[in-house]
Structure 1
Amino acid sequence: MNVAHRLSRAGMAGALTTAALMLAGCATGQPGNCAEGFEAFERDTLYFGRSIPTGGQVSDADWTDFLDTRVPAFPQGFTVIDAAGQWRGASGQVVREPSKLVVLLHPRDAKADAAIAALIDTYRQRFAQEAVLQERQAVCARF
């Protein structure tokens, strides 16, 4: 399944509901202890800010190019969500910016970990980003 979904803020509620239903398949919340019919996966959510510190934003064309050339390392599929983010950088200044969340569902292994690290490093270098937030959870899912 190679799917990229683009959701509005209203669609975020649906995405969160889907995530909650996927988690409902976990018997104990521990990886490997999934209810019958479910498989253990890792879910990484990556938060990509689109403001460029030197000015401007990552354009839609640049984002699409990044997505098309870097994220295919996850052939199982992924979801992209439009978001409005806020964070405090190393300077202490609060930054509000349009953002993209990429949700990856994958087996836990060194290959996936290396691909995610490379994805983050590439984005940070290409668009002069101070950080890309990575959030990880063990989940149970079925398709």
Structure 2
Amino acid sequence: MRSLRHCMFAVTVAVLLAGCASGALVASSMQGDPARPAQSNAWARSELYFAVGNEDGSDTIDDARWRAFLDAEVTPRFPDGLTVLDGYGQWRFRDGNRLVRQRCKVLVVLHENTDARRADIDAIRTAWKRASGHESVLWARQAVDVSF
């Protein structure tokens, strides 16, 4: 009888310890690693594609105009950092008959995935369309795991 009590006691202690350990793991994962302050579902990588010139040389937006746009519309919304890449791409008009090849700027921003940050992205797109007369700015967004 005594050995049964010892066995029951040992099993109870083992279950309690396992529960504490798993609770500590859950609490640890909820707090996050100090080197990785954000959970992956809390951050997004947004890429915006801005046409700056056609292959035929028309509709060219020079570097000074692009920098002025960055200074006025992008940097105030994302002052902590961003990346701009020069690109070249192509797309076909909906009618399927005309292929457009363009130089572009690709803006990459890592940001909190919140309504406010998404509104900032939309405001940048709207400002570019207004300033350039372009019909669209492509926005690609995905969840990311970040580390600073």
Same-fold call, TM cutoff 0.5: yes
Greater gyration radius: 2
What corresponds to 2:93 in structure 1? 89
Structure 1: which 5+ runs fail to align? 1-31
What corresponds to 2:60 in structure 1? 57
* Alpha-carbon distance in 2 for matches of 1:136, 1:60: 25
Normalising by the residue count of structure 2, what TM-score does the alignment of the two structures yield?
Answer: 0.67
Equivalent pairs: percent with the same residue? 36
- If each structure's helix is expressed as a fraction of its own residues, which one has the higher value? 2
Question: 1:96-135: CA deviations, max 9, x gaps?
Answer: 1110000000001111111100100111121111211100
Which of 101, 107, 111 matches 1:106?
111
Mapping of residues 1-143 of structure 1, within 5 Å: 36=33, 37-38=35-36, 39=38, 40=40, 41-51=43-53, 55-72=58-75, 73-90=77-94, 92=96, 93-143=98-148
* Alpha-carbon distance in 1 for matches of 2:95, 2:133: 15
Q: CA RMSD in A?
A: 2.0
Normalising by the residue count of structure 1, what TM-score does the alignment of the two structures yield?
Answer: 0.69
* Alpha-carbon distance in 2 for matches of 1:59, 1:133: 20
* Alpha-carbon distance in 2 for matches of 1:101, 1:125: 18
Structure 2: which 5+ runs fail to align? 1-28
AA in 1 matched with 2:88: A
Structure 1 runs (4+) deviating above 4 angstroms are none
Distance 1:124 1:44, change over 3 A: same
SS at match of 1:70: helix
